[in-house]
Structure 1
């Protein structure tokens, strides 16, 4: 059986001596095995650190250039839309009795995440709720009170975005209105007199599996769109026309995927029927870009954990990073121009 794995090593940022202590590599591992998003996440967490977080355009270009040399199609990355993270702007638990944070009054077929980014909530004229783009403008209702039993509602008949409404309520009152039960919902509906208004319920938008804070996005035009109403995971499309841009897909689809982080265990290299071709381009006396391609018939697994027949074998790495010897697959080391200048000096 032939197995292909791609390792991308990124070293970036300003570095001071001692170099090996302060410049830590950012490793990506492309796994050419089709899994759904949750299975891919579990695999990456078991073998490496997590599904990949992409921090900037340079990192994305490295993924595009190197993975595209061995694979064409879509791959999972670590970005997902947490559709079940609804919570109230007023987070203080002292304002809620048991179970009251879970009260919901959705309109039929809502929330539907229309166009892929509806993360704020309005109350409709009927009193039912609808998820909505946070940049839409609506009047809003603030809560005012210091405990669970002492709440007043203040209607602000001014059109603002959800974030602007939240900021206004927090400055002048307590917070955007919390709705804890049906009686409160009806009281607020009567207060606003047939207007659609913001309430304090919201959820997280797109975030990374490893809880990283990267704000970098590389969406294809018109994406995300949640076209089939269940597209909550992100893929990068590595084709000539899409050039690595991202789109949202159903998390149940099966695709290869990109992991990040160093391998958690070392797997002994294959012992039979292995041929290796290696080419090395020397950039300076201390730096190299090396590429190794191996075609391997794998012997039985030799780690303490039994590997299934469809799982790729992790690469063995050398942490010093002047080049990467590879056991199986395709490995790439990419270094910044700064490091070349550093060593030449």
Structure 2
């Protein structure tokens, strides 16, 4: 059995390269809507008439759309909805999350100072604790003291260490904590916040809370951004929606502003990859099939970079071999 599995692995590793493997799997068709609506109404309109507000994944997407000659701003699908992060610990893509896990809070506990977080004037996507143990959002490039934590026994019980002999940016503090402890401080309940405060005293210090601002209306994970100079700036603290200007640059603007907008229709390409395996192995053997399918999954992920696909066996009539179809979509 070992020799047969090895033979299959070599065949897959060197022979499975479809000619269309670089073809795009998602195509977006963009539509300009010359109606004046606020962002929420525009989102509703796009979802009713098309698929959603527009997501852009590259400069190619931006350059291939036909624009009208005159408009100041047009909404796109970007939003930094404060209902996901302002005074709460939500679970949206732009909600607060902990450095040690990269995930949103399990307990929902928070201890924000009154009026915080406010993300005011400049991107404030990292958090420090003040002298009263209250949390405040701040620009991550600011240099502050910081608090690291260690997991102890029993698991989940944390000990905190304050570094008040040096200041670092949030990212540099994270790097230091990961090298010498578990990570920047994680605080999931009032007792842990009290423990952190007991060693921090009057010092303002970074903790492990951060967020990635802006998310797409269609929940795309596209990280592409095309902001204009000094944008986004959350001017006056009320700019939580994204819009394109006539130069194709992006701005944060008030969501209640009324302007035209871009919608999209998403078309997903289905790619069927057929593999014919010639071997002396008994492909009807229930013990053999899972091994072959696992080999195929590994190749499709690591060599062809497919991520969303299904595999299934199709047993052909006797002497015709066996086909395995990989369907992306």
Shift, 1:235, TM fit: 0.7
Alignment partner, residue 256 of structure 1: 260
Which of 227, 233, 239 is equivalent to 1:225? Answer: 233
Tell me if the contact between 1:223 and 1:246 (Cα under 8 Å) persists in the aligned partners. Answer: yes
Alignment partner, residue 13 of structure 2: none
Aligned equivalents of 1:102, 1:174: Cα separation in 2 = 21
Aligned pairs for 1:130-279 (under 5 A) are 130-146=136-152, 150-157=157-164, 158-238=166-246, 243-262=247-266
- Where does structure 1 lack aligned partners over 5 or more consecutive residues? 1-15, 265-345
Aligned pairs for 1:282-321 (under 5 A) are none
Report the TM-score when normalising by structure 2.
Answer: 0.63
Aligned equivalents of 2:219, 2:186: Cα separation in 1 = 27
Shift, 1:151, TM fit: 1.4
- Where does structure 2 lack aligned partners over 5 or more consecutive residues? 1-17, 86-94, 269-329
Alignment partner, residue 282 of structure 2: none
Tell me if the contact between 1:136 and 1:162 (Cα under 8 Å) persists in the aligned partners. Answer: yes
Does residue 45 of structure 1 match 2:47? yes
Shift, 1:226, TM fit: 1.0
Report the TM-score when normalising by structure 1.
Answer: 0.60
Aligned equivalents of 1:114, 1:252: Cα separation in 2 = 18
Shift, 1:123, TM fit: 0.8
Tell me if the contact between 1:137 and 1:159 (Cα under 8 Å) persists in the aligned partners. Answer: yes
Aligned equivalents of 2:179, 2:52: Cα separation in 1 = 39
Shift, 1:77, TM fit: 0.5
1:90 and 1:73, CA in 2 relative to 1: closer, same or farther beyond 3 A? same
Helix, strand or coil at the partner of 1:224: coil
CA offsets 1:53-96 (integer angstroms, 9 cap, x no match)? 22233432344xx3233x42211111122432123334499xx9
Tell me if the contact between 1:88 and 1:101 (Cα under 8 Å) persists in the aligned partners. Answer: no
Helix, strand or coil at the partner of 2:237: coil
Moved more, 81-90 or 200-209: 81-90
Alignment partner, residue 67 of structure 1: 67
Aligned equivalents of 1:186, 1:258: Cα separation in 2 = 48
Helix, strand or coil at the partner of 2:46: helix
Helix, strand or coil at the partner of 1:114: coil
CA offsets 1:141-168 (integer angstroms, 9 cap, x no match)? 1121155652111123332222332233
Which of 120, 123, 138 is equivalent to 2:129? Answer: 123
Aligned equivalents of 1:106, 1:125: Cα separation in 2 = 13
The total of aligned residue pairs comes to: 237
Alignment partner, residue 78 of structure 2: 79
Shift, 1:127, TM fit: 2.1
Helix, strand or coil at the partner of 2:248: coil
Aligned equivalents of 1:23, 1:183: Cα separation in 2 = 50
1:262 and 1:102, CA in 2 relative to 1: closer, same or farther beyond 3 A? closer
Shift, 1:208, TM fit: 2.0
Alignment partner, residue 292 of structure 1: none
Alignment partner, residue 326 of structure 2: none
Aligned equivalents of 2:43, 2:220: Cα separation in 1 = 14
1:176 and 1:263, CA in 2 relative to 1: closer, same or farther beyond 3 A? closer
